[in-house]
Amino acid sequence: MTYKTKRTLTAYAFLSPAIVYFLIYFFWPIAIEFWASFRSGQPLIGESAFIGLKNYAHILNDRLAIKAIKATLIYAIGSVVFTLVLALGLSALLVGPVRARNAIRAILFFPYIISFVISALMWRAILDPYTGLLNAALAKVGLPQQFWLVNPDTAIWTLIAVSVWKDLGYAVLIYIAAIQGIPAHLYEAARMDGAKRHHLFRDITLPLLMPTTLFLAVVIMIASLQEMALPYLMTQGGPANATRLYSLHVYETAFQGLNIGYASALSFAMFMLILFITWAQFKLLHRDIRHV
């Protein structure tokens, strides 16, 4: 056995636990899900028949699925846009000589480490139309109470606000690290040419933050597309299915409707969408890095 072969076998031996973990907890469930998506009923306990692509075709005719897709897209796009815009502005401020900036960073990051269950229950209590702190504060200034989670027009935007509150600190810290990594001589050269502060931000900071922005957009987008805890704990998908996000629809189809085959098709379709978004991220990121 050659030295190179020994090194290769040793490397595979050290990697084997991770490979086994990947096969058991990632590849195998996806393979089972893909197989089940072509069957009816409950294929995991044998009560099913092969039906081809009927489950996937049914997605296009499922009124609840279409509504869940629309709600999920609104939630995901809203979460990405508001989080990135606020995070970019706050990070630009907190990079400078701001008093107590470390304390502000810690306060902003704190919601990110709170579990979704605690966050959802806390905000549900705050937003309660009768006993919530937010409506009590509105009453103090003479404003009418709002039914934040009961009104179909405001429920999805309320969930977006909670999502932004939770992810904002993480995005701010990532942006701060990226801004601090920009070479200082670029700003110095621009100042010597008479560039103002807003010119520095527009012409230097923003272009060089494009890879970071793309990374954060994809991470938040993927997490939002898979979100289930917030609508499940705060609204149970209501009112009138206004906050019935895609993952919640998959869960209820599988465990309340007991239609594992169709739920598998719904889930695998989302998996393929996330896979495509990840692939697009790498392509765009590679292109941006080459142009920086």
What's the token pair of residue 47?
């009560």
Provide the pLDDT for residue 289. 56
C-alpha–C-alpha distance, residues 152 and 135, integer Å: 18
pLDDT in tens, the chain (292 residues): 677 788 888 888 899 999 999 899 888 988 999 999 999 888 877 778 889 999 999 999 999 999 999 999 999 999 999 999 999 999 988 887 778 888 988 999 999 999 989 999 999 999 998 889 999 999 899 888 889 999 999 999 999 999 999 999 999 999 999 999 988 888 888 888 787 877 788 888 888 998 899 899 999 999 999 999 999 999 999 898 999 999 999 999 998 888 999 999 999 999 998 889 888 877 877 665 555 5
The one-character DSSP state at 49 is -
Tally of domains in the chain = 1
Question: What is the total residue count of the chain?
Answer: 292
User: Are the C-beta atoms of residues 120 and 234 closer than 8 Å to each other?
Assistant: yes
User: Is residue 167 included in any domain, yes or no?
Assistant: yes
Provide the pLDDT for residue 46. 72
Give the position of tokens 């480490």. 113
Query: Helix, strand, coil shares of the chain as percentages rounded to 5?
Result: 75, 0, 20
CA torsion through residues 215, 220, 221, 227, sign = positive
Residue closest to 278 by CA, chosen among 218, 232, 238, 220: 218
The one-character DSSP state at 143 is P
Domain limits for position 140: 59-291
User: Is residue 252 included in any domain, yes or no?
Assistant: yes
Phi, psi of 50, deg, nearest 5: -70, 125
Please name the helix (run of DSSP H) or strand (run of DSSP E) that holds residue 252, with its range, or none: helix 246-255
C-alpha–C-alpha distance, residues 14 and 36, integer Å: 33
User: Is residue 226 included in any domain, yes or no?
Assistant: yes
User: Is residue 38 included in any domain, yes or no?
Assistant: no
User: Is residue 3 included in any domain, yes or no?
Assistant: no
- HSE on the CB side for 279, CA within 13 Å? 6
Residue 114 three-state SS: coil
Q: Indicate which CATH number applies to the domain containing 218.
A: 1.10.3720.10
Q: Structure pTM? A: 0.89
User: Is residue 113 included in any domain, yes or no?
Assistant: yes
User: Is residue 210 included in any domain, yes or no?
Assistant: yes
User: Is residue 204 included in any domain, yes or no?
Assistant: yes
